[in-house]
Chain A
Amino acid sequence: MRLQILDRGHRLPTKALLAVIRVVSGHPVVDAVKLALYRPDFYGAGALTHEAMRGRSDWSVGDRELMAAFVAQTLESPFCVAAHSATSTLSLGDTAKVTATLADLDTAPIEEPLRATLRMLGKVASEQVIDADDMRAVLAAGATPAQIEDALAVGLAFGITARLANAFDFDLATPAAMNSGAKHLLRRGYR
């Protein structure tokens, strides 16, 4: 973590909460949690992220976690790729689908609406120009306008988070800590 305040600058009640998380989870607190709990009155993107990831949508939770991992991969954030690959894998119950999608979107064994949506999200995150033709391609693949809007909300939330993870240099937690975090994210979400 590049800023000491994000490691050790929390208010006392929050420090107590971080200690409880350490004890209950049996792992060091991951940097994403430290960021989320630092001055939440200023940044506090938990509600937005929770709505994008767990609010009502025609996309499954596992699909949205896969979108988060894909956006994070486009933005080259190893922390977010690991966290949301783990969460997507746990939710979908399918390691191969997540691994294959991140390795090669074109050949991954996923439905066409999801494939076209991920391609579009990758284009947005990599700062290519997005126009109506790009969106028509996603619609033609079978995604609805509402699904595209929902996917863009995931892209917004993780466009922010993945940038912050890199800028603040989040430590890559152990796989065991990431899996523990994934279980928490499926049980409680992001709030």
Chain B
Amino acid sequence: MTDIAQLHRELVARVLGGDGMAPPDLRRAAFDDANLDEPLRTLVGKVAHHARLVTDDDIAAARAAGLSEDQIFEIVVCAAIGQADRQYTGALAALAAATADPGRSK
């Protein structure tokens, strides 16, 4: 699956830097789950950590803050990809550490 690394890089580059309606710094903050004000801090935090707890009210609050549906779509996508990306990268690092260690059991 050598293509995975490239497809992963391309996806991240596209949602962070590609054409979009939400400002790039807002997409980056959603991806990082950091440096956000309410109501997006709550929405993005839920998407990253407890996506099943997202409610209609969370989305309505983002709308009320002046965001369009397309902007909310982009922010939610960035939040989901950011969290999955951090978990994936961390797990690959753990695998690299396990396979680099001559003392590993197998």
Binding site for B on A (CB under 8 A): 2-6, 9, 38-39, 41-45, 47-48, 51-52, 55-57, 75-77, 120, 124-125, 127, 130-136, 139-140, 145, 148-150, 152-153, 155-156, 159-160, 162-169
Contacts and interface: CB of A to CB of B under 8 A. Distances in A.
Nearest to B70: A5
Contact of B106 (A132, A136, A165, A169): A136
Given A150-B1, A167-B46, 14 more contacts: A51-B4, A55-B3, A77-B52, A131-B97, A140-B106, A152-B91, A155-B87, A155-B88, A156-B85, A156-B87, A159-B83, A163-B84, A167-B47, A169-B56
Classify chain B: how many residues form its interface, as a range.
35 or more
A90 to B, nearest CB: 23
A152 B77 contact: no
B91 A130 contact: yes
A136 B106 CA distance: 7
Interface string B67-83: 00110111011011101
Contact of A149 (B14, B46, B81, B95): B95
Given A6-B73, A55-B3, A160 B84 contact: yes
Interface of B: 1, 3-4, 7-8, 11, 14-15, 18-20, 46-49, 51-52, 54, 56, 59, 69-70, 72-74, 76-77, 79-81, 83-85, 87-88, 90-92, 94-95, 97-99, 101, 104-106
B81 to A, nearest CB: 5
Nearest to B75: A167
A149 B1 contact: yes
B54 A167 contact: yes
A132 B84 contact: no
Contacts of A168: 76
A148 B95 contact: yes
Nearest to B4: A153
Given A131-B94, A145-B99, A153 B19 contact: no
A160 B80 contact: yes
6 contacts: A42-B19, A124-B88, A156-B85, A166-B52, A166-B54, A168-B76
Given A124-B87, A152-B92, A156-B85, A43 B4 contact: no
Contacts of A43: 15, 77
A152 B52 contact: no
A77 to B, nearest CB: 7
Contacts of A131: 94, 97
Contacts of B18: 41-42
